Structure 1
Amino acid sequence: MIKRVLLGLFIILTASQTANAALELVITEGVNSARPIGVVPFKWEGKEPLPQDVADVISSDLQRSGKFNPIATSKMPQTPYTDAEINFSQWNNIGVDSLVTGSISPDGKGNFIIQYQLVDIVRGQLNNGKSKALDENGNLVPAKDYLLFSKRAVVPAKRLREYAHRISDLVYEKLTGEKGAFLTRIAYVVVSSKSNYPYQLRIADYDGYNERLVLRSKQPLMSPAWSPDGRKLAYVSFQTGSAKLYMMDIYSGKTEILTAFPRHNGAPEFSPDGKKLALVLSKSGSLQVYVLDLQTRKLKQITGGRANNTEPFWVPDGQSLIFTSDRGGLPQIYKVNLSDQATTRLTWQGSQNLGGQITPDGRFLIMVNRNAEGFNIAKQDLETGAVQVLTKTQLDESPSVAPNGSMVIYSSMYQGQNVLSMVSLDGRFRALLPATNGRVKAPAWSPFL
């Protein structure tokens, strides 16, 4: 039965609960090895101060992807605002092969007009930006084949930061061939012993800005998971004294109890089509993986036996699940085919492997790997079996992969506190997002929004 949760326990997303960034990004490694790019501060043509530095957001986004190293403004040879002002040789001489530039002006109605371009410096350097082409009338006109794109948009003031992420997505996709994930969010649990409601479920933009409190409770909250449409979160709550599995529409605030069996109800994970939910129950004794049909509410048990089987995650085609099991003694990751329940072991390197997720392209298994250094985030090539340890932090857990497969967010220990950390899929870029107001854990990266 759908119901509204008691006042004071759950807080619906509203503009009044929007906060400044509660997560502060601290880059720890990998910037210098990334591809140089120029993001010129956009020209501001208004009288009042611009409420958001759009170019700074774009620069930060590209840097956090782990694939780009935006050069500092102080090291730019010039600050052109249109392609006609670019000195291609000067940019080429400092190793920059792509440039983002533009201008912003008020429209007199409270909105902003943003004009921006992505420029191929190498192509512009080859012909000095003077190549010609025939127009429809047979006349020679500037070809501008160095313009990878040139766009214009009218954006409300309150959406400037959001649109900056949109520009970052466009730049990232054009230069890498992969879809950008800068317009996504993260959900996570904050534990603050100083609060009357110490357990808080929050969401924020992927970079920690625009944090919103979704739910607060005096009892533990665990395991948030996004629906594929980005509207709902499944999670575990102990608000009634025992674990129950809930689902919340984060825009309406409506919640629903999905399972409330004795003992354990946990580890929810939506299927790729959003019609089913993988979860873990202990109603038969040991922990077992089930699939719940969200329309019919029918449960299907997937694993069995005396072993504990937990942490299910869907393979992208929706036909299989991976999960963690101690059936061999210590935890390792297995794959089960949902049609015939045939099961195979996936992990062999390291004394333990758990918390697995499959990248969206189906190529890699991301997991927590126990090795001589401790518990770290690792990547396993599902074709070759090769394993690469990606992190150097301590007690890593709960990895969650960005919807484009470029980055992993996870919980780790930093200076004795639970914090969120990020690592690029190649392991070259690492960053910390230490919380300013509590211990942070159980991150979940949203789908594309």
Structure 2
Amino acid sequence: MALTSPRITCSRAGRLVAGALWIGFFAMPIAAFSGADMLSVIVGALTLFVGAITASFSRRYMRSDPVEARFFGNLGLLVLAVLVLAFAGNVLLIALGWCLSGWALARLVGHSSGLEDASAARRRTMRSFVLGDGALLAALGLLAWHAGSIDLAVVADRAGSLSPFLLTLAALGLLIAAAARCALPPFSGWLMSSMTAPTPVSALMHAGLVNAGGFLLLRFAPVFEMADIARFAAVGTGLFAAFWGLGIMMVRPDIKGSIAGSTVAQMGFMIMSCGLGAYAAALWHLVAHGLFKAWLFLGSGSAIGMAGNRRSVLVDPKLATATAAMLFAGVGAAIFSGLASAGVVPLALGLLTGLTTLAAVLGGDLRGRTRIGLGAIIAGLFAVNGLGLLFAAKAFSSQPPALLGSWEALALLAVFLATWTAQHGRLAARRPLPPALYAALINAGALR
């Protein structure tokens, strides 16, 4: 009896956490009808849904782990901290939820405490988070001090009377915090090294916590949109992260590493959307990416078998060129017809990256019926994203001044698509990357 008691306790911990998360998810409509703002409800529902799915999956996945109860305790604490962050009405609770969620995630990253790599990954994660958390606390302190209040609405309303220099400092502090949590370079090492964590942790992390950076910028949109320097920095940082993440995705031979590279790219697109002022696109990107990555990570074990002798992410160059041309034409038509703004460009690029990630999971070269099936998936994803974007626009209707004009946004899109197409041509022709670049991409996040 003494030998089986720990296992009974652990199983109860899993049932308790999974059950509580499912109850919380199905109770979300109560929060919506009680007057909570839609951004909080959407992020809260996403967090609870992914958390509940992950906890339910983990009850079987972690059943032989001797410290399973600790795992479920940290998982529940992480979801609770994100909920505090999502529904916080003052800067103190935002700071508490932000810092507590980072601490809980670091504990989950280092869950396999017997492995030196896991402990090293936990320490790297904490170092990255401490830098980002420090920037956030400084920004929140500056805004609250100027407003003379910790109330979030008062802080946002009075931020406009800050001097341009202090306002830019506060906005850059928010951007640094978001970049650290979203694993944008130079903070991307913590995310890549966290692959030592159990797969359910990766699912929850990639689907939930890394999106917190986008939520932070959306929550403080009134502050962020008044600082053009910070907005341009967000676009530049996001664009570089997108290229860097796609490079990692294309060279990493392991499924989880490839998906992690895709996450870096997707977070870059989301931060770009915030910088451009496309808040509805950023909100929908947050939701769509969270659900997509949870599915990919929880199915990554099966994907290993599906991929077989997977070499790299490889789409036929002709197919890549045709896809890029159709995407450019479609986005251009939508922008100039007035159906969409220039801010839809990062969302379109995020969709393209998601399709490339799906191709990686399917195993490289796409032929015959697989290609036809992927075409049907592409059509379905475009339809779902269109509907999701309309929903997000109703939930977050703020429209700040555009940072880039239509032609500038299309030029940005053209540069990215040309680079993406050229890279697929390089892979198909087996032309190697420059050795230094290849070494940096393949070793991104390596624990030294």
Measured against the shorter chain, the TM-score band is: under 0.3
The normalised TM-score by structure 1 is 0.25
Between Structure 1 and Structure 2, whose CA radius of gyration is higher?
Answer: 1
Structure having the higher strand fraction is 1
TM-score (norm 2): 0.25
Higher helix share: 2
